[in-house]
Amino acid sequence: MTDKAEGSLLYLDDVSVSFDGFRAINRLSLVLEPGEMRAIIGPNGAGKTTMMDIITGKTRPDTGDVLFDGSVDLTRLDEAAIANLGIGRKFQKPTVFESHSVEDNIALALKARRGAFAALFHRRSSVEQGRIDALLETIRLSEKRDLLAARLSHGQKQWLEIGMLLAQEPRLLLVDEPAAGMTDAETAETAILLKEIARTQSVVVVEHDMTFVRALDVKVTVLHEGSVLAEGSLDAVSSNPKVIEVYLGR
């Protein structure tokens, strides 16, 4: 069984999880290659967020394998351990540390030793400062670095969160609805940013916005009732009769 996981970055096989009898994820299988970018679409309640919860250790699956890097069993690790393995997550609702400055938000996310005592005696090095400056440049918040994150606009918070994700230097980024609440211009820019990130890292994007998914131009997985309904290019899946039925049939 694990042989198939060989060479994959993320490997989900026959994963199921129920909440009070409701099967949120039903025998879901999904394989992501290193360096791959994947879009995940599906109607509300299809299990997209639950899938993210399982990968990041927030929810334990009832059955099935969840492997990272072909061999690391994610179901046995907690959120912090999984994050430190190199899996970063951006939430649907932008969650930044509102009472910290924009710069401190990035500094906290920056890849470093996460122990309490390491943090107590931590002094920011010039290398780290350089990294922070570069990241702020990437997410276009250099001028707002001293501003409290609470004062940012919705779109800027989304970008700050992406910046925090990059600061962790993850090997796999899980991005939940990055374009939600953004203007069209911001959405387009976000797609460009994500494609740039995908050149060096693997990315899984959950999204509702079809224009956005089209702009990403990657392989699409359609989830429905907790399992994979279809997989392929956006054109292929959107002409799939089963997908059409799920989206338009009721």
Partner 1 sequence: MITTFLIDSLDRRGRIVVGLLVALALLVPAGNLLVPEGNVFHVSTYQLTLCGKYLTYALLALSVDLVWGYCGILSLGHGAFFALGGYAMGMYLMRQIGTRGVYADPLLPDFMVFLNWKELPWFWQGFDMAWYALLMVVLVPGLLALVFGWLSFRSRVTGVYLSIITQALTYALLLAFFRNDMGFGGNNGLTDFKDILGYPIQAPGTRAALFAASALMLAIGFVIASAVVRSKLGKVLVAIRDAESRTRFIGYRVEHYKLFVWTLSAAMAGIAGALYVPQVGIINPSEFDPAASIEAVIWVAVGGRGTLVGPLIGAVAVNFGKTWFTGVLPEVWLYALGALFVVVTLFLPRGIVGLWDKLVTGRAKPAVEANGAGRQTGEAA
Least separation in angstroms between residue 153's CB and partner 1 is 16
What residues line the site for partner 1 (CB under 8 A)? 56, 58, 78-80, 83-84, 88-89, 91, 95-101, 104, 107-109, 114-117, 119-122, 146-148, 150, 164, 168
Nearer to partner 1, 6 or 79 (CB): 79
Alpha helices in the chain (DSSP H): 48-55, 79-85, 102-109, 116-120, 126-138, 154-167, 184-197, 210-216, 234-238, 241-248
Non-local (6+) Cβ contacts of 199 within 8 A are none
Least separation in angstroms between residue 200's CB and partner 1 is 19
Distance CA 101, CA 103 (A): 5
Least separation in angstroms between residue 68's CB and partner 1 is 14
Least separation in angstroms between residue 90's CB and partner 1 is 9
For the chain, how are helix, strand and coil distributed in percent, rounded to 5? 40, 25, 35
Nearer to partner 1, 42 or 88 (CB): 88
Nearer to partner 1, 128 or 189 (CB): 128
Nearer to partner 1, 89 or 224 (CB): 89
Give the angle 1-75-171 at the CA atoms, nearest 5°. 90
Residue type, 120: L
Nearer to partner 1, 102 or 191 (CB): 102
Least separation in angstroms between residue 176's CB and partner 1 is 11
